[in-house]
Amino acid sequence: MWLIVGLGNPDDEYAGTYHNVGFRVLDRIAAREAVRANGGWDRCGPALISRKVILSGQPAVLVKPQTYMNNSGAAMPPVFERFEATAKDVIVVYDDLALPLGKIRIRQKGSAGGHNGIKSLISTFGDDEFLRVRVGIQPEREIGDVRDFVLSRVAKSDRDLLEQAEEIAIKAVNTLIAEGLSKAMAEYNGIDLREKEN
């Protein structure tokens, strides 16, 4: 059973922010898999989980921690217990300010890179070996305060690129499940959507 974990903040005021890329990607997957029609989202401790879906022929559950970004890891132990899962069953989708807007990067392990949600997951898992789909949000303009930026609503000028990147993140999740890490990295880590814009 794959656990597809999207990171974000749970309140409506954060729904359209840069920091909620992970939630939006999961919502897009949920819409395609008719999660609402199949019973919607359930509670599992401090997380929302979908009913089981089939992605690329394999069973998966979508997981949205409801603990706020900086404490995302606290939502995972009840989910792990319910599905008898470990960090190796996890694919995490999240925003990354270290990557330019229009790029995604797939990784298998590594540090949190300053992302507090990932830092929290590593602390909870006791392990940094879990699959990640990082969606770049760094625009080409100056952004000022980082916290203010990630919690701000996505600018109109950034929306199209970010939506395209979120769509590619969905494809990357499916490729990770169907064909593995090497194939997914080769296929998606070189994409730069800014080149199409220009």
19 is catalytic: yes
Round to the nearest angstrom and report the end-to-end CA distance of the chain: 41
Residue predicted with more confidence, 36 or 168: 168
* pLDDT tens string 73-95: 999 999 999 999 999 999 999 99
Q: How many domains does the chain have?
A: 1
Distance CA 59, CA 71 (A): 27
- Of 7, 19, 76, 128, the active-site residue reads 19
The pLDDT score that the predictor gives to residue 97 is 93
> What's the pTM?
0.94
Number of H helices, E strands in the chain: 7, 8
Residue-number span of the structural domain to which 51 is assigned: 2-197
Contact 121, 69 (CB under 8 A): no
State the CATH number of the domain containing residue 131.
Answer: 3.40.50.1470
pLDDT score of 198: 54
CB-CB contact of 9 with 68 (8 Å): yes
33 is written with which tokens?
A: 């898999």
